[in-house]
Amino acid sequence: MPAAAAPLEADYQKVAQKAYGNYILPSFEGLQGQAGRMEAQIKDFCASPSIEAHDAVRSDFGRLVYQWGAVEFLRFGPMQSENRFHRLLFWPDRKGTALKKVRRAINDQDAKRLEPGALASGSVAFQGLNALEYALFGEGYESLWTKGDAKGAYRCELAYAIAGNIVATSSDLVKAWSMDGFGKTFTQPGKDNPVYREGKEVVAELVKALGTNGQYFTDVKLLPVVGRELRKAKPKKAMFRRAGASLISMQSSLDHAGQLIHEADFEMLLDEDAWWIINGAEFELKNGSKTLKKLGEIGMPKAVTDEEGRKQFQYLETVVRGFGEMMISEYAAGAALVIGFNSLDGD
């Protein structure tokens, strides 16, 4: 049986262009839009605070977390520049730096921190989603709607300022990914391109990002929380637990990995008898989603220590690792790609 023909350079470039136009740029624009809606929701809440309005803020934060998951694994190019990833999410935050800085700010009530652009010049731990989460849902958040509570009023304004910083950073990313910026670099590889000489290198970047997504899911979102044994379970280490958005973050990772594969038409780089690789990857993602639904029915944080919940988490780890390995190994081989350094290695 003759060996399958390697994809043409034009095919790699088509995948890169589809990935950019159908997924990457729209996803960053989606983050920018959802961050803007979050900022507006907080402004309205601060003007007229109530328990019901806070529930609406919580729902909007969950939507922001979900949209963040669309770009979370695109940790190359503009996301890598100017520390933008950590400005949007300082995680894992092993020393609780974001929490400490928000607490200190609430106690100090320094008006200078609320000035436009003030947060951007300070610590990255104080600029992104986990800082915003603590301001809105951390210890003592009831003060946000307590009449006459000066700390609560300041806390709300601080949350608004952090949301504004997230809008600014996501807007910077949209601009950086435009065709006047990295968009051109990504979609037009060649001998004069400073990053990508061939379309093959661009697709390899995407596949590496998908593999990183799987590794980040298991090694950062899942295992530090669940542990290998019950006695090592640490429910409080769950990302976005205070907002009740831990499972939302996990679901977003799976949904958007599948969406990128579909929108970029990864299948076109495989010989027909290797299409099983894409089917297998999608099968793993679907099984992961089914498992997350079961975990949602158990509820967090109970699922972390519940016997059935732990079984589901163990299975979830298996299928997500399977997905990542399938993309890095099977797909890369089928599409004649060489996958380089993983951005999480050495973090």
> What is the reported pLDDT for 231?
94
Q: How many CB atoms lie within 10 A of CB 116?
A: 10
For residue 186, the Cα-to-chain-centroid distance in whole angstroms is: 20
- The CB-based long-range contact list for 135-141 (8 Å cut-off, 24+ gap) reads 135/102, 135/106, 135/159, 135/162, 136/42, 136/54, 136/57, 136/58, 136/61, 136/243, 137/58, 137/61, 137/242, 137/243, 138/99, 138/102, 138/103, 138/242, 140/106, 141/54
Are residues 203 and 148 part of one domain?
A: no
Percent of the chain scoring above 70 in pLDDT: 97
Domain count, the chain: 2
Amino acid symbol at 310: R
Of 160, 187, 214, which residue constitutes the final position of a domain? 187
Residue 319 forms part of a structural domain? yes
Q: How many CB atoms lie within 10 A of CB 279?
A: 10
If one compares 173 and 6, the residue with the highest pLDDT of the two is 173
pTM of the model: 0.95
* Burial of residue 280 (number of CB atoms within 10 Å: 0-12, 13-18, 19+): middle
> What is the reported pLDDT for 6?
74
If one compares 315 and 341, the residue with the highest pLDDT of the two is 315
10-49 tens-digit pLDDT: 999 999 999 999 999 999 999 999 999 999 999 999 999 9
Are residues 302 and 249 part of one domain?
A: yes
149-193 tens-digit pLDDT: 999 999 999 999 999 999 999 999 999 999 999 999 999 999 999
The residue-averaged pLDDT of 311-322 equals: 97
Amino acid symbol at 225: V
Q: Give CA–CA dist 186/201, Å, rounded.
A: 10
Q: How many CB atoms lie within 10 A of CB 204?
A: 20
Are residues 290 and 251 part of one domain?
A: yes
Residue 194 forms part of a structural domain? no
Of 187, 208, 238, which residue constitutes the final position of a domain? 187
